[in-house]
Chain A
Amino acid sequence: MARPARSALAVLGALIGWSLFKAHDAVDATERDRLRVQARVVDDNVGQQLDGMYRALASVRGEFLATPVYSVSTLLSVRLKALSDAIPGVRSMVLLDADGTVVASSVDTAARPRLLGPRLLPQGARTAATRETLYVAPPLKTVIDSYTVVFVRAIYAPNGAFVGAVAAALEPAVLQGADALGAVRARHARRRSATATARSS
């Protein structure tokens, strides 16, 4: 093949390759931007739900402290059911005593497990320095084969003793619905927090 023809072919190939490379870059940038926007939308949405859930857990904690022990199960179960129905994105709410026994729950009494403490009560809840901490449990696979994230607030007596905890589980459809949220991975956060702890220490 003649030299000009080879040069022309080389130039043509370079042009095609360059245009494809630029198109690939453009697609990559567009998709990154789209994913970033989606993540921001999910951030805003889940943040509002977390805020509402945090306030609901605070109110339940106050009512638990004010309610007599013999009527906690009946009164607070109704209360928890009303709250879980009212707050979007909350699937269920449970109230645990210091041993982890379910005292009140928004779900049916027959279906709820009796002992959830070891799974739901966070490790540092009993010795928490701050009482307002919202604990985020690792993702759990529920009995209906779906992941959920449980948020727990510890309940302390006026004398500072740990008397229980109130927990709320997010609706799995919220986490995976609308293709906006692929997964909520507390594992990343745990790894990140562990790395940060190691650096700080």
Chain B
Amino acid sequence: MRVVARPRRRQGLRDDARRRARRVDGEPQPDAGRDRARARRTRERRRRSSIGAIGRRRARQRMTALGQIAPPSLAMDKPLVIAVSRALPELFAPWRKQALANLTSSPLLSAGAAFGLYRGQWRRKSYALLEAERRRANAGRPPSSSSSRCEGAEAGPVGLGRAQRPLQRTTRSLRRQLGYAPGRARRRGIGLAQHRPSRRCRAADLVDRGAFPARDRGLRVRVPGPPQARPVGLAAQPRQGRRARRLRHAGAHDRHPHGPDARRSSTEAEVHRSDRDAAPHRRSSPTSAAGSSTWRRCAYDWTEQVVPHPRARAGADAAPRRSDRTTTPPEGRPSLLAAIEAGAREGTPWDLELPLVTAKGNPRWVRARGVRDLRGRPAGAPARARSRTSPRRRPTRSSCTG
């Protein structure tokens, strides 16, 4: 018995049988020539439409199993041939479905995998670029601590340091490289998982240990800011509260003064691991303090969450003191208050230069400007501090929400 795939010729078989019957019966065949011509015309038409012919040929193809019955006991004059056949399109219909599924799903899965790999490589490269840029920025500075695993933890005083300025200039590109699209960062705060790895390990260690030595009090981490904000150096201070594992990060970010979130407090960027027992006045205090430059809404006072870096005050106690607050000298305070009141009442902007003494005791000239928002109300008092003692130092920005 053998199986062959051959076109089925049922019509031809029928015609043969009819012709043979006519011939054997001796009937006249007046239409034989006409039938032959018609069959020839049909064949020509089918040959001309090649595509249709191919389709018909494929549709007619059948897989046939042939068998012969010719038992010796029956003494048959010719074997009886048995043909069992099935059409090829019918046979391979499940295979065609499977092939179609494979051809559609496999490229999609492969494209997804390739995109994931490419994205991972791209992020790794971005981190490498960031690290290289940070190292270039810190190249001129002496190493702060050789034993520290997280070099940025003791990078400098609270606020914008020299090491962070290049980062600040390139924050947009770095942020793009890091893959943070605008608006992706959570508005309520940024978790530790989004910190840079070097800082994250330090912070994680601190959290695990539950104790924060004095030299680690001023963690400086760089995180992406909330929407419409330029992420800059974030002064973060872990503190151990009443409960053993309590970590609090006070964050600062420099937002666009005319952005939709211009009036939003920087406390929204603060990261509180356990904030249930936080003092309410810390978030609602209208005049809280800022460090040297970047604290919004707290331009002239320290909050309890922000303390100067211990390296700035070597040997000092970690707890914030009232004497650490940046203060406005008495001679500049009335003019500032008058300008703020006038701006709040009439909506007029102001531009003042005020003396300022920082928490470190450094005198600064602060140029405070009252800015109006779109509705004409004063939106804040961005200030630019200039140091008398170190005039070559680049001025740092400060802002104060009115």
Q: Residue A46 at the B interface, CB < 8 A? A: yes
Docked CA distance A187–B26 (Å):
21
Q: Residue B374 at the A interface, CB < 8 A? A: no
- Scan A80-106; emit 1 where CB is below 8 A from any B CB, else 0: 000000000000000000000000000
- With A51-B71, A124-B77 known as contacts, the answer to whether A32 contacts B65 (CB < 8 A) is yes
Q: Residue A130 at the B interface, CB < 8 A? A: yes
Q: Residue B13 at the A interface, CB < 8 A? A: yes
Whether A31 and B106, one on each chain, are in contact in the complex, defined by CB atoms closer than 8 angstroms, is: no
Docked CA distance A133–B64 (Å):
29
Binds A, one of B15-23, B125-133, B250-258, B340-348: B15-23
Cβ of B114: which chain A residues have Cβ within 8 Å of it?
5, 8
Whether B79 and A130, one on each chain, are in contact in the complex, defined by CB atoms closer than 8 angstroms, is: no
- With A35-B64, A187-B16, A189-B68 known as contacts, the answer to whether A133 contacts B76 (CB < 8 A) is yes
Cβ of A42: which chain B residues have Cβ within 8 Å of it?
67, 82, 84
Whether A138 and B17, one on each chain, are in contact in the complex, defined by CB atoms closer than 8 angstroms, is: yes
Q: Residue B24 at the A interface, CB < 8 A? A: yes
Whether A46 and B69, one on each chain, are in contact in the complex, defined by CB atoms closer than 8 angstroms, is: yes
Q: Residue A188 at the B interface, CB < 8 A? A: yes
Cβ of A54: which chain B residues have Cβ within 8 Å of it?
73-74
Q: Residue B14 at the A interface, CB < 8 A? A: yes
- With A5-B114, A136-B76 known as contacts, the answer to whether A185 contacts B21 (CB < 8 A) is no
Cβ of A119: which chain B residues have Cβ within 8 Å of it?
21, 24-25
Contact of A24 among B10, B79, B85, B95 (CB under 8 A): B95
Contact of A183 among B13, B16, B63 (CB under 8 A): B13
Docked CA distance A182–B24 (Å):
26
Q: Residue B39 at the A interface, CB < 8 A? A: no
Q: Residue A20 at the B interface, CB < 8 A? A: yes
CB distance from B99 to the nearest CB of A (A): 5
Which A-chain residue is minimally distant from B106 (CB atoms)? A16
Q: Residue A114 at the B interface, CB < 8 A? A: no
Cβ of B76: which chain A residues have Cβ within 8 Å of it?
133-136
Q: Residue A67 at the B interface, CB < 8 A? A: no
Whether A182 and B21, one on each chain, are in contact in the complex, defined by CB atoms closer than 8 angstroms, is: no
Docked CA distance A20–B73 (Å):
48
Cβ of B16: which chain A residues have Cβ within 8 Å of it?
187
Q: Residue B319 at the A interface, CB < 8 A? A: no
Cβ of A46: which chain B residues have Cβ within 8 Å of it?
69, 80, 82
Contact of B84 among A9, A38, A190, A193 (CB under 8 A): A38
Which A-chain residue is minimally distant from B94 (CB atoms)? A27
Contact of B13 among A124, A132, A185, A190 (CB under 8 A): A185
Q: Residue A149 at the B interface, CB < 8 A? A: yes
Docked CA distance A188–B149 (Å):
89
Q: Residue A47 at the B interface, CB < 8 A? A: yes
Whether B71 and A35, one on each chain, are in contact in the complex, defined by CB atoms closer than 8 angstroms, is: no
Cβ of A122: which chain B residues have Cβ within 8 Å of it?
77
Docked CA distance A118–B65 (Å):
33
Contact residues of B between 13 and 67, Cβ < 8 Å to A: 13-14, 16-18, 20-21, 24-26, 63-67
Contact of B75 among A20, A27, A38, A132 (CB under 8 A): A132
Which A-chain residue is minimally distant from B107 (CB atoms)? A12
Contact of B99 among A20, A32, A184 (CB under 8 A): A20
Docked CA distance A84–B209 (Å):
100
Contact of A118 among B24, B77, B98 (CB under 8 A): B24
CB distance from A127 to the nearest CB of B (A): 13
Whether B81 and A118, one on each chain, are in contact in the complex, defined by CB atoms closer than 8 angstroms, is: no
Whether B71 and A141, one on each chain, are in contact in the complex, defined by CB atoms closer than 8 angstroms, is: no
Q: Residue B337 at the A interface, CB < 8 A? A: no
Cβ of B75: which chain A residues have Cβ within 8 Å of it?
130, 132-134
Contact residues of B between 87 and 113, Cβ < 8 Å to A: 91-92, 94-95, 98-99, 102-103, 106-107, 110
Identify which of B21, B81, B103, B107 gathers the most chain A CB atoms within 10 Å of its CB. B81
Q: Residue B1 at the A interface, CB < 8 A? A: yes
Q: Residue B393 at the A interface, CB < 8 A? A: no
Whether A35 and B65, one on each chain, are in contact in the complex, defined by CB atoms closer than 8 angstroms, is: yes
- With A141-B14, A187-B13 known as contacts, the answer to whether A43 contacts B82 (CB < 8 A) is yes
CB distance from A5 to the nearest CB of B (A): 7
Which B-chain residue is minimally distant from A54 (CB atoms)? B74
Cβ of B20: which chain A residues have Cβ within 8 Å of it?
138
Which B-chain residue is minimally distant from A38 (CB atoms)? B84
Cβ of A19: which chain B residues have Cβ within 8 Å of it?
102
Contact residues of A between 172 and 201, Cβ < 8 Å to B: 180-190, 192-193
Q: Residue B78 at the A interface, CB < 8 A? A: yes
- With A16-B102, A138-B17 known as contacts, the answer to whether A36 contacts B78 (CB < 8 A) is no
Docked CA distance A133–B76 (Å):
6
Whether A184 and B82, one on each chain, are in contact in the complex, defined by CB atoms closer than 8 angstroms, is: yes
In the complex, besides A36-B1, A134-B76, 15 extra interface pairs with C-beta distance below 8 angstroms are: A32-B63, A40-B1, A42-B82, A51-B73, A51-B74, A122-B77, A130-B75, A136-B77, A136-B79, A136-B80, A141-B18, A141-B21, A181-B83, A186-B78, A186-B80
Name A's B-contacting residues (CB within 8 A): 5, 8-9, 12, 16, 19-20, 23-24, 27-28, 31-32, 35-36, 38-40, 42-43, 46-47, 50-51, 54, 118-119, 122, 124, 130, 132-136, 138-141, 147, 149, 180-190, 192-193
